[in-house]
Amino acid sequence: MILKTNDTETRFRFDAGKVKGFALDEATPEGLYAVGMGINTSDKDVVEHVCRSIGMDMDPALQTTASITVPQQFTQYWDPQAVDTLYTATLMDQIMGETIAGTWADTKYVLRWNEILGQASLYGDLTDEDLVGMSYNYDYRSVVRFQKALLPTALAEAQLAKARIPYRADLQRAIAELFNINQDEIGHFGWAPSIPSTEPTYGFLNEIGLAPYETLPQNAGGTSTQFEDKSWEEIQADFRYLIGILQTQLKGHFNPNTQRFKIVMSNAVAQTLNNTTQFGISIIKWLSDTYKNFDIIYDAKLDGANGGENVIYIFAEDIKGIRTFEQIIQQKMFLVGFEQRTHGKKELYSHATAGVICKRPLAVVRASGI
C-alpha cells in the first residue's frame, strides 16, 4: 500500500471553485501570507519602503532584520482591487483549487511516498511475529518564479491624479492580472526550463503520472470518434465507458453515484451535450439525473490539446482524503524589493508556482478525439 504525504508545508488550501476575493480591511498580514501574498521582510529597506508608502512611522522594533514583524497596517499596502484580481478564480482554480505551500525561496515542492511493507499474518502463541516495514520515496516538482516591476513616475502620477486615476494602484492591479494569467497557463501546460532539467514543472495536461489517453469507440458508420459525429446513444455510451474505467481502476474505492467527481472537457464540443432524444432528454440532463455529485467544466485549453484532438478528463476529486490533483502555489504576489530612482520608485513583484501534481493517477481517466 502506498500513502502520499507532503514534505513541503501547506499554508492554505482553496477548494475547487472556492477561490475568491476577500475584504482587505478584515485581513491580517499573517492571513495574507497564508493565502500567498507577502513582502520581503528579510530586507529592512523593503519594510521601511512599505511603511513610508502607507504613511506609517518606522517602529524601532522594525529596525533590525532579526526582530522584524509584520504590523497590521501592512495590509494597506495592497490595493483592494488588486487583491480581488489576484483571487479571481481561473479555470484551473475551478478544476482543482489552489494549494499554497512552501515559500517563495523554495527550489522544489517535495512529495513523500510512504509504502507499507508486509501484511498481517495469523496469530499463534508460538509463532514468530512479522514486523511491518516502511519504504520512503520522494517526488519533486521544480518551483518556477516570475517577475514584473512597476514604476509610477512623478509626472505621470501628478497628471493622472488630476483625473482621479490611482496610477500606482492600477499598475499593481495589472501585475496581479498578469500573474493570474501566468498561473493558469502553467497550471494547464507546465513549464519547460530553457536548461534541461530532470525535475520540470508539469501542468494538468502533461502531468507525468497520468496514464495515456483512451481512444473512444467510433460511431456506427466507423468514420469518427468525435461527439459531433455521434448519436445521443453513442455519446451516452462513451460517458458510461469512461466512468466505468474510472470505477474499475479504483477497485471499489470510488462510486460515481455517491462520490464527487469532475468532468473537464473541450469547450469546442460543449454543445454536443445538449443533443436530445425524441423525448427531449439531453446528455447533460441524463448525466445530472444519473450521477448526482459531479461538476462539469468546459475548458478551451482542452481544445486540440492532444495533437490537435479535443480531449476530456474525468476524475474523482479525492480518494480517502487525498486530493487527486493539486495546483501548488508558493507565492501569488510577493514584493521582492524596490529601487529609488530620480523620477519615482520602482517596485519588483514576483510570483512562484510548482504547477500541478497528480497524487492519485488511478483516479483519472482521459480520452482524446471527442
Q: Looking at the structure, tell me whether residues 49 and 156 fall in a common domain.
A: yes
Same domain, 227 and 114: no
Lowest mean pLDDT segment, chosen from 132-136, 141-145, 191-195, 217-221: 191-195
Q: Are strands 261-266 and 311-316 parallel, antiparallel or unpaired?
A: antiparallel
Q: How far apart are the first and last CA of the chain?
A: 35
Q: Is residue 339 part of a domain?
A: yes
Examine the domain organization and report whether 221 and 160 are in the same domain.
no
Q: What is the CATH number of the domain that holds 254?
A: 3.30.2320.10
User: Are residue 59 and residue 177 in the same domain, yes or no?
Assistant: yes
Reported as type and span, the H/E element at residue 244 is helix 232-249
**C-alpha R_g of the chain:** 25
For residue 260 the three cell numbers come to 464527487
Of the pLDDT bands very low, low, confident and very high (cuts 50, 70, 90), residue 58 is low
The better pLDDT of the pair 229, 73 is held by 229
Residue 4 pLDDT > 70, yes or no?
A: no
DSSP bridge pairs for 13: 99
- The domain of 315 spans 214-324+361-368
Which pLDDT does position 101 carry in this prediction? Answer: 94
For 130, the grid coordinates are: 512479522
Q: Do 168 and 223 share a structural domain?
A: no
263/334 same-domain check: no
11 located within any domain: yes
Q: Is residue 279 located within the same domain as residue 353?
A: no
Query: Are 181 and 231 in the same domain?
Result: no
Look at residue 34 and tell me if it is in a domain. yes
Dump pLDDT digits (tens) for 287-333: 999 998 999 999 999 999 999 999 999 999 999 888 999 999 999 99
178 and 218 fall within a common domain? no
Tell whether 24 and 95 lie within a shared domain.
yes
Q: Is the dihedral of CA 210, 199, 140, 12 positive or negative?
A: negative
Considering its fold, how many domains does the chain have in total?
A: 2
- Residue 311 within any structural domain of the chain: yes
18-27, 64-73, 134-143, 342-351: lowest mean pLDDT where? 64-73
Residue 28 domain flag = yes
Cβ–Cβ under 8 Å, residues 118 and 93: no
Q: CA angle, corner 94, sides to 332 and 299, nearest 5?
A: 110
71 in any annotated domain:
yes
DSSP secondary structure letter of residue 107: S
The model's pLDDT over 252-295, given as tens digits with 9 standing for 90+, comes to: 899 999 999 999 999 999 999 999 998 999 999 999 999 989 99
| % the chain with pLDDT above 70 | 89
- Residue 71 CB coordination number (10 Å): 17
Same domain (yes/no): 176, 221: no
Q: For residues 219 and 230, what is the distance between their CA atoms, to the nearest angstrom? A: 6
Whole-structure pTM value: 0.86
Half-sphere exposure of 364 toward its Cβ, with a 13 Å CA cutoff? 24
The answer to whether the beta carbons of residues 3 and 108 sit under 8 Å apart is: no
Per the CB < 8 A criterion, the answer to whether 227 and 216 are in contact is no
Do 229 and 352 belong to one domain?
no
In a domain, 209, yes or no: no
Task: Report the 10 Å Cβ neighbour count for 90.
Answer: 17
The Cβ of residue 251 has, within 10 Å, a number of other Cβ atoms equal to: 8
Whether 126 is covered by a domain: the verdict is no
Identify the sign of the CA torsion 243, 246, 252, 258. Answer: negative
- Mean local confidence (pLDDT), 351-361: 95
